[in-house]
Amino acid sequence: MSSTASGKNGTWRNWGGTVSARPARQVEPASAEELAAAVRRAREDGLKVKAVGSGHSFTSIAATDGVLIRPHLLTGIRRIDRASMTVTVEAGTPLKRLNAALAREGLSLTNMGDIMEQTVSGATSTGTHGTGRVSGSIAAQIKGFELVTADGSVLTCSEKENPEVFAAARIGLGALGVVTAITFAVEPLFLLTAREEPMPLERVLAEFDELWAENEHFEFYWFPHTGNTNTKRNNRSAGPEQPVGRLAGWFEDEFLSNGVFQVTQWVGRAVPATVPAIAQISSRALSARTYTDIPYKVFTSPRRVRFVEMEYAVPRAALVATLRELKAMIERSRLRIGFPVEVRTAPADDITLSTASGRDSAYIAVHMFRGTPYQAYFTAAERIFTAHEGRPHWGKVHTRDAEYFSRVYPRFGEFTALRDRLDPDRLFQNDYLRRVLGA
């Protein structure tokens, strides 16, 4: 798989270059039965088990020195049920393949994130999300799934079947078993009109509640060292389709957002003093544009500039205060931040360890170009986020542990109790899970 970096000598590396692991063996099962057999064999050999998707997590959530399960043979649509408007897909299916296949069938997910390189199981297990007033994360669109547990049995889970496992394992962190297939709710293919336009940060913050309320999907990027943002509003449209022209699309999405941006990041990494001036230019480079297309062509965009990311969900009501504190911190510090800060929202959901579990949420994501020292920035940002009871994205950089999570997730104990029941011997344990869920 293109986005999984896999090095020599059986070393596995993630996309961001932040994690590497040397598993004792790697397994590529082609069916749920083969996967279950691999789990049973690992157990007999006294080896831990982790499944890895496309390596898009910045944390070591998928790292293991035991058995690494690569799901890239578990791909494709298993069935489409037009009566219940669901689609069942194999766990290793990349989101981009799912999106394209659904579109050919005249179907779509309701909402999605802005990257589609991940596998469906990797994206859902870590809580990948986009932005939405009433539609939540990808995991919130799950209607059922199949899970291989520590004893090698295959559980089918939904609201009716194994409901307590369904409540938790939609975002299961790989701690409860290995997902082999997922059933998503889908709807007839629709059109979205995207309106992208620059807007002063002060105006966005002053009008945030209205911008959120008036749009189905609102997000914005703030450029540190400037008072500028780029806003994006996606709303359903009756059409007609008016996609971004090929030349304009190439210019904005490839040349500016990936090509020129890559060069500015190289310059900023080499000469940090240039970053504020570059930010002023970058934040004005993208002009306003409006286009109408099918959902995945509006929600997602290519990300070729490699970065490291931290993202926290704070209560939506705390967003403006949190962002003002982040801005003040950057202005007080000697930090030079060349990557925009991304802000999105999600409605409360009922998934045990979802970052939006039980509360309407706003997401603030901070990024640094790969190879640039990021610890000082991320540490200072994390201090602000945690003061607002922030919940970090499970697949992005953070330093929180089980003690912290037991305070910010009201149902944390439910998850750990279920884990004790499904995986008492910690077959799916690794260092990351030991830290975030406790021993």
- pLDDT at position 318, please? 98
294-305 tens-digit pLDDT:
999 999 887 777
- pLDDT at position 260, please? 64
84-112 tens-digit pLDDT:
999 999 999 999 999 999 999 999 999 99
- pLDDT at position 307, please? 86
396-409 tens-digit pLDDT:
999 999 999 999 99
Q: Does residue 142 register a pLDDT over 90?
A: yes
Residues facing residue 148 across a β-bridge: 154, 178
Q: Does residue 255 register a pLDDT over 60?
A: no
- pLDDT at position 272, please? 78
Q: Does residue 259 register a pLDDT over 90?
A: no
Mean pLDDT of 305-330: 96
| Least-confidence region, from 74-78, 255-259, 329-333 | 255-259
pTM: predicted TM-score of the whole model, two decimal places: 0.93
| Least-confidence region, from 49-63, 297-311, 325-339, 350-364 | 297-311
Give the gyration radius of the chain's Cα atoms.
21
- pLDDT at position 279, please? 76
117-134 tens-digit pLDDT:
999 999 999 999 999 999
Mean pLDDT of 364-370: 93
Q: Does residue 4 register a pLDDT over 50?
A: no
Higher local confidence (pLDDT), 114 or 189:
189
- pLDDT at position 354, please? 98
Q: Does residue 53 register a pLDDT over 60?
A: yes
Q: Report the DSSP pairing between strands 67-69 and 25-27.
A: parallel
Mean pLDDT of the chain: 92
Q: With cut-offs at 50, 70 and 90, classify the pLDDT of residue 74.
A: very high
- pLDDT at position 251, please? 57
Q: Give phi and psi for 314, each to the nearest 5.
A: -115, 160
Q: Does residue 435 register a pLDDT over 60?
A: yes
